[in-house]
Structure 1
Amino acid sequence: MNKLIIPTGYMGSGSSAITDLICEFDGFDADNGSFEYVFLHCPDGVFDLEDKLLIGNNSMRSDEAIRSFEKRMYELYSNKYWWVADYKKRIGEEFWEFTKKFIDSLVQYKSDSYWYMQERLNFSRFVKMAVRAVLRMVTVGKVNLKKPLEYYPMYLSFVNSEEFYQKARNYINNILLCMGIDKKNIILDQLLLPHNVYRAENYFDDRMECFVVNRDPRDVFILNKYIWTRDGDPVPFPRDVGEFCGYYKRLRSVEKKYNNTHIHVVQFEDLIYKYDETVERIMDILGVDKTKHIEKKQNFNPDKSINNTQLFNKEAYKSEAEVIEEELKEYIYDFPYKNDADMKQSF
């Protein structure tokens, strides 16, 4: 049985290192590299659809949920210039066909009625409404054109959780088959996020192995503030150290607990400072032996990545690092030895 590998992390925590490392194993492919697959957790993605249909659903909510999902998936499918999109190329033309079939399976009723979201006016519909009113008045009600609506008909769905998850699993399995999981192990970066891994058991079978990557927040803060921002590639963390600590605490506190043996927490620094031990652990999870590590250190080189660690030891950053060390004690990594990072080699 081929594996679905999902590397994920906390914005800048180094989850792409898992993608790079596992791509060194024979029989494991990431056709699009570290491209982030967001269709499950993006706004109006599958998880939003789940929440809208299973929590506080009603006729209007289900219509909005399905229509919003349909629109977002088509954007991901068709937009060539959006960096998280172009699924027509990155997944395959079948993605949209599978999406339409999934939507059709959810829609239980189609209504001739309409609600205020369908009645939103733009200039074109305003003109049509005016013409409609004039004709009705002139003909004393004998001519009564249909009301111009933004879309038609109204989609209604009252699926229960068992029905929804079964249909969603079929949808995801079709996508995975399209990507070749029947022929090879595949790696889909960021298909889950740490904050929604608790949902995984409803969507995936035992083929899935998700690696959640932690990283010392001192280095994340310094890299983001002084290197990634400078290079025009920041992550959305506050750059004031006090705000960062509060933000980070809240970010981690909203995570839900899970009990899933296919979700594995990996420390980014262990990939560097405990390389052999950590690689062996990952290979055990994937069920492969050392003979499969055919391109060792070709994609992920700990000797290079070590320059992304212990930046907080630099004199210029010590005061900010001390604040983080005090405020975020539970997330601080216990480094086995001191490293003098070469800032010029940081990335």
Structure 2
Amino acid sequence: MRKIIDISGYGHSGKTAITDYLKQFDSVFGFPNYVEFELFRVPGGLVDLYHALYDSWNLIRSRVRLNEFDKLIHRIGRVQTASDPLSYFYASAHGYDQYFNNRFIKLSEELITKIITGTQKNTFWPYENLRVHPLKVFINKFKTKFFRSLTSADLYYSDRNQFVGLVSNYVDSLMSELGEEKHTHVILNNAFDPFNPSICLNMINNGVSIVVERDPRDIYASQINTADMYVPDFEKTKTADKIRQQFTGFNDIEYFIFRYKTIRDNVIESQDSRILRLRFEDFVLDHEIYSKKVLDFVGLDPNTKKNDLNYNLQNSSKSIGLWKKYVDLPEIKLIGEKLSQFCYNN
């Protein structure tokens, strides 16, 4: 059973530094940095299943979530290729099948089959009209009024007591399809939300979450000028700057502050030993201390490090204290004032 290490953050928080550092170890498998494994957190994903089938079981919601999950796995699993023209309409471009030996969709379908303990065919189900196309709603009403044909659907039954075990075994099966036999650890990028990773950790047999935090002044300053900072290769695209600025709210300082504060205020602070919240600045500036802390946390032997090709400490250091070059900017001052509790002042 491989150990899962998820590394997440709040948007341009420096998590790539932790990812690249861990990828230096021979026993660690990692996706390319631009690949985010989104099976857990996206709408219709495993977290939604968890709430509807385990945390608060309900026949209405569980049916909807199972159908959504079925659609999701085909959307994100299908590989977009010229030999499959329909894939340009139905595939989301995640193409997870290519990473899991073409078994992502198959294993996911098997999970659905195992979760459903019974099916009640063609049953009166008025809730169907809450989600279907308006034309379908009209047709259903017409059929009921003039033909006494009730709105119906297939109902799916499941056992909440089996859910976590089935999902954790499913995730283990997926992870076993990755990399080589030597890989004992798998790094995921933003698979779990940083707000409450415990939900995702509850659905796997062996995993931890590292949440990376960074001075919001540096996050803002990094959008002003990237010439003096280190930018990972996967972010050097024509649209990368535009995406970063839109994502962080760079063009509106009040929105930038509102967005960042809202995100951080919604974090559920817990005493979960499987979660490590780590400052990017600490990891870089006190690297010897904090890199050891990370290795101890994920269970890696420092002597198994294979090379220094994936991580350059000097490059990371270029991204710390960027805001000091713009200390007189009103925007930087405002961030320091309104988000002071999240700023790095050591």
- TM-score (norm: length of structure 1): 0.79
Contact 2:168 2:204 in 1 (8 A): yes
CA distance in structure 2 between the aligned counterparts of 1:181 and 1:155, rounded to whole angstroms: 41
Q: Higher strand share goes to which structure?
A: 2
CA distance in structure 2 between the aligned counterparts of 1:230 and 1:106, rounded to whole angstroms: 40
State the partner residue of 1:342: none
2:241 partner letter: D
CA distance in structure 1 between the aligned counterparts of 2:279 and 2:260, rounded to whole angstroms: 17
Q: Would you say 1:253 and 2:252 are equivalent positions?
A: no
CA distance in structure 2 between the aligned counterparts of 1:116 and 1:301, rounded to whole angstroms: 59
CA distance in structure 2 between the aligned counterparts of 1:28 and 1:220, rounded to whole angstroms: 29
Identity %, equivalent residues? 22
Deviation per CA, 1:165-211: give whole Å up to 9, x if none.
12211221111122258641221211212123121442223x32321
CA distance in structure 2 between the aligned counterparts of 1:2 and 1:158, rounded to whole angstroms: 28
Q: 1:230 to 1:75 in 2, by over 3 A?
A: closer
Q: 1:325 to 1:79 in 2, by over 3 A?
A: same
Shift of 1:71: 0.3
5+ residue gaps, structure 1, are 336-347
Q: Aligned match of 2:241 in 228, 231, 252?
A: 231
Deviation per CA, 1:45-87: give whole Å up to 9, x if none.
0101121234665433222111011101110101537676101
Contact 1:4 1:181 in 2 (8 A): no
Q: 1:260 to 1:127 in 2, by over 3 A?
A: closer
Deviation per CA, 1:120-149: give whole Å up to 9, x if none.
45889999999x99xxx9xxx9xx9x99x9
5+ residue gaps, structure 2, are 81-87, 227-234
CA distance in structure 2 between the aligned counterparts of 1:238 and 1:124, rounded to whole angstroms: 39
Secondary structure at the aligned position of 2:167 is classed as helix
CA distance in structure 2 between the aligned counterparts of 1:200 and 1:329, rounded to whole angstroms: 30
Contact 2:76 2:93 in 1 (8 A): yes
State the partner residue of 1:25: 25
State the partner residue of 1:100: 109
CA distance in structure 2 between the aligned counterparts of 1:156 and 1:325, rounded to whole angstroms: 52
Secondary structure at the aligned position of 1:308 is classed as coil
Q: Would you say 1:174 and 2:173 are equivalent positions?
A: yes
Q: Would you say 1:87 and 2:96 are equivalent positions?
A: yes
- Over the aligned positions, Cα root-mean-square deviation in angstroms equals 3.3
Q: Would you say 1:266 and 2:291 are equivalent positions?
A: no
- Residues matched between the structures, number: 319
CA distance in structure 2 between the aligned counterparts of 1:3 and 1:223, rounded to whole angstroms: 33
- TM-score (norm: length of structure 2): 0.79
1:185-224 aligned within 5 A: 185-205=185-205, 207-224=206-223
Bigger Rg over Cα: 1
Contact 2:128 2:153 in 1 (8 A): no
State the partner residue of 1:339: none
State the partner residue of 1:322: 333
Q: Would you say 1:285 and 2:294 are equivalent positions?
A: no
